[in-house]
Amino acid sequence: MVEIIKRRFEKEVIKVPEEFDEFQVSYNNWGHITLRWFKEKDQDNDFVVVLSERESSTLIRFIGNLFRGHDP
């Protein structure tokens, strides 16, 4: 279960519905990582998180450092 937590004065939690059985990660030519949850039989009903180019680059560097054995 994925939770997106928005913190400020009051905590707001957005949960990806458990009904989705497929997960897809993509990287587009604009430099954005996209996370997508969907049902195989109903692909028009999905939940999508699109990272900005800066956020995507930060995540890619973090994962690269993990694989190289550096402290992230």
pLDDT digits (tens, 9 = 90+) for 11-66: 777 777 778 888 999 998 888 999 998 988 887 888 888 999 999 999 999 999 98
Residues paired with residue 46 on neighbouring β-strands, in sequence order: 38
Q: How far apart are CA 71 and CA 61, in angstroms?
A: 11
Local confidence band at 72 (pLDDT 50, 70, 90 cut-offs): low
Residue position matching structure tokens 């402290």? 71
Domain boundaries, the chain: 20-68
Q: What's the rounded Cα separation, in Å, for the pair 6 and 59?
A: 19
- The pLDDT value given to residue 71: 66
pLDDT of residue 54: 92
